[in-house]
Amino acid sequence: MKRTALKFRSTKHYLRFQRGNYEQVISATVDREKIRISVHDIPWVVGSLSFTGRTQEAQALLVRYENRLSAELLIIAQFFLAVTLTRHTKYSEGRELFAKNLRLGQKTRSPTARFFIEQGIGFYRFFSGQARIARVRAERAHTAATEGNFLYGRVLALDLQGHSMIECGEIQAGLEFLERATKLSMKLGDGSLSESMTNSQALYRLQFGLGGADSIHHAESRLVQISREDTYTESSLLLELARQYLWRGRGDQAKRALDRASQVIFSTQNRRHEIILNLRFGELLIHQGDTAQALNYLRSARALLHPGIDTRFELELLALELEACTELGWDKHLESLKKNAAQRLRLDSGTLAGREIARHCPEIKLTRTFKRNVDRFGDLLDSLVDPTPESIVACAESGYLGLLPKALKIPRGFQGIYLDPIPGAILLVHRGIVTLVPHVSPQIRRLILELAQRECSKEDLVRKIWKYKYHPLRHDPLVYQSMNQVRKILGEFSNWIVTNESGYSFQSGCQIIRPQADPLLEFTTTSSATRKTEISDQLSHHEDSLNYRQRKILTLAGKRETVDVRSLSRELSTLPLTISRDLSKLRQLNLLVRMGKGRSTQYVLKQ
């Protein structure tokens, strides 16, 4: 038996197969004019045909040679075919082959055969959402592969262990196992096996926010590098990228990724990816405010589910249904879904999908707690269930801007500006696109508020914002400069500002939300006495470094909101060049802020 094992593991087709060079195996065997295949190569040819989408040919070849294969060789061939059938949702056929292998195992004591038996059972358990059992089987498979000095088997077993651990919430440990599997696969040679494992790690790092924006760039580069034939990896990357784009506030990019994924998935007819595609479209539409339409996609996903197998997807679907029904106010249906969620959490509370369900049903307590800083994205989602100012800031700093509208209780479908999600910033929201603009000056925020209330002429703005009596020659440049700043801040939404003969306004449908405890409100009602106190504090702080003119300039800036070189030169009877030097020093000391360019340059007191 040992000689047989060594013989089938030393053929050139096995060496090609373990590197992932399946096309080379096929072209040298079944695609030749005269087919000649050694009995010891049958498992690798069956595996190559299976993994390249030629499943019917693999089945026919196995039937033809079945009676000529030893128990060990038959177990290996049936393993590869069963894995492919399971991936293509032919669960009963795949399960039957795995069961046959279990019975055949009684006829051989080969560690290699034992590896394929345990690995097959573990794979099927993982595929059907039973990650804990899969992990145990993978450990047994690794022991058998080590005993038989079977490097290829050790790689597959470590890979399955890593995936199972991640699904159970042990993300860092699982990634370490995947890294070990990838390093071992390099010893087999340069092929698609190590590449697929590298892609899996990139997907997980993207999914769990390990690496921030760099993980997205890495996944995008992997998408460019993969071969056209690897449609499974292409669709997997596109589906995860779409979710990441959405969570990061780029709903437009998410839509493009899903449209591209649709073409790949429907051409390959991968049912599991089709389920995920419907889930992603449903989630996108919920973020865009089209919740009723999202339910159509969620119903399509449920129709594709296979009971007892697609448990992971069923839990993700349940979480989205809970969110959709909450948005629509369907209390009766929501109550039914929560009962279902409570039952499922008794079985799946230790999985990542179970953790997602618990966020929508905080009244249901998990039987297991997850370690902090392992699933950073999961930690962030947990913190936003009952958000605090600290969790809002953490969310903004992490780049997951798509989560902010829900955390801030911004209505779905909202189009407009949310003031001060974090102090001094504004949030731009439009159909799944979310942009955070930090450090917006109080004057610009006041201008936004004035335009939100009604259409304003230039005279209205000068009187309301700067407290001046309007003079076109003096104040038009200031208004133009300020409006250009607003448009620049709005970026891709600059068309929200409408300009006509009578003045400026926000376009119809654009809304402004200002929280109750708005620091802008304090700014607009600041008394002159308070401003004098602030200026006095600044003068005393810089007493030794400021001359008389500079102190006077600060006082005038506090009274008038803005100052300029020409007016100061006249009032202080000083050359414009000297005033310019004084203003430059005050800017360097961070006491004044310059607005505009050239002759329209104005200076305002730093807030």
Task: Give the pLDDT of residue 119.
Answer: 97
In whole angstroms, give the CA distance from residue 164 to residue 170: 9
Task: Give the pLDDT of residue 590.
Answer: 82
Q: Which residues pair with 418 in a beta bridge?
A: 427, 513
**Torsion of the alpha carbons at 53, 58, 60 and 61, rounded to the nearest 10:** 150
Task: Give the pLDDT of residue 518.
Answer: 45
Over the stretch 437-471, which tens digit does the pLDDT of each residue have?
998 888 888 899 999 888 999 999 998 888 888 88
Q: Is the pLDDT of residue 532 over 60?
A: no
Tokens standing for residue 563: 């100052």
Q: Which residues pair with 199 in a beta bridge?
A: none
Q: Which residue has the higher pLDDT, 20 or 576?
A: 576
Task: Give the pLDDT of residue 227.
Answer: 74
Task: Give the pLDDT of residue 71.
Answer: 92
Tokens standing for residue 507: 């376009």
Q: Is the pLDDT of residue 554 over 80?
A: yes
Q: Which of 72-76, 322-326, 593-597 has the lowest mean pLDDT?
A: 593-597
Greatest mean pLDDT range, 113-122, 184-193, 351-360: 113-122
19 closest CA partner among 44, 54, 46: 44
Mean pLDDT (whole number) for 570-578: 86
Res. 7 pLDDT band, cuts 50 70 90: low
Q: Which residue has the higher pLDDT, 35 or 585?
A: 585
Mean predicted lDDT score pLDDT of the chain: 85
Over the stretch 496-527, which tens digit does the pLDDT of each residue have?
999 988 899 999 889 999 876 444 333 333 34
- What is the SS3 assignment for 604? strand
Tokens standing for residue 525: 């009602």
Task: Give the pLDDT of residue 560.
Answer: 73
Over the stretch 38-73, which tens digit does the pLDDT of each residue have?
889 999 999 999 988 899 999 999 999 999 999 999
In whole angstroms, give the CA distance from residue 103 to residue 117: 9
In whole angstroms, give the CA distance from residue 108 to residue 345: 41
312's enclosing H/E stretch is: helix 311-328
> 460-463, long-range: CB within 8 Å, 24+ apart, which pairs?
460/503, 461/503, 461/504
Mean pLDDT (whole number) for 144-149: 94
Under 8 Å between Cβ of 52 and 22: yes
Q: Is the pLDDT of residue 179 over 60?
A: yes
Mean pLDDT (whole number) for 553-570: 83
Query: 3-state SS of 360-419?
Result: HCCCCCCCCCCCCCCCHHHHHHHHCCCCCHHHHHHHHHHCCHHHHHHHCCCCCCCEEEEE
Mean pLDDT (whole number) for 298-322: 89
Task: Give the pLDDT of residue 107.
Answer: 84
**Greatest distance between any 2 Cα atoms in the chain:** 109
Query: 3-state SS of 149-216?
Result: CCHHHHHHHHHHHHHHHHHCCCHHHHHHHHHHHHHHHHHHCCCHHHHHHHHHHHHHHHHCCCCCHHHH
435's enclosing H/E stretch is: strand 433-437
- What is the SS3 assignment for 84? helix
Tokens standing for residue 295: 């339910």
In whole angstroms, give the CA distance from residue 445 to residue 420: 10
126 closest CA partner among 174, 81, 182: 174
Task: Give the pLDDT of residue 340.
Answer: 81
Residue 349: how many other CB atoms lie within 10 Å: 17
Task: Give the pLDDT of residue 350.
Answer: 56
Over the stretch 231-258, which tens digit does the pLDDT of each residue have?
888 899 999 999 999 999 999 999 999 9
Half-sphere exposure of 558 (CA within 13 A, CB side): 21
Task: Give the pLDDT of residue 276.
Answer: 95
Q: Which of 141-155, 500-514, 584-598 has the lowest mean pLDDT?
A: 584-598
Over the stretch 388-398, which tens digit does the pLDDT of each residue have?
889 999 999 88
Q: Is the pLDDT of residue 273 over 90?
A: yes
Mean pLDDT (whole number) for 345-364: 66
Task: Give the pLDDT of residue 135.
Answer: 96
- What is the SS3 assignment for 599? helix
In whole angstroms, give the CA distance from residue 492 to residue 447: 19
In whole angstroms, give the CA distance from residue 607 to residue 594: 13
Q: Which residue has the higher pLDDT, 493 or 3?
A: 493
Mean pLDDT (whole number) for 125-146: 94
CA distances from residue 176 to 163, 172, 180, 305, 318 in whole angstroms, order as listed:
10, 6, 6, 31, 31
Helices 111-127 and 71-87: crossing angle in degrees, nearest 10, is 10
Task: Give the pLDDT of residue 540.
Answer: 58
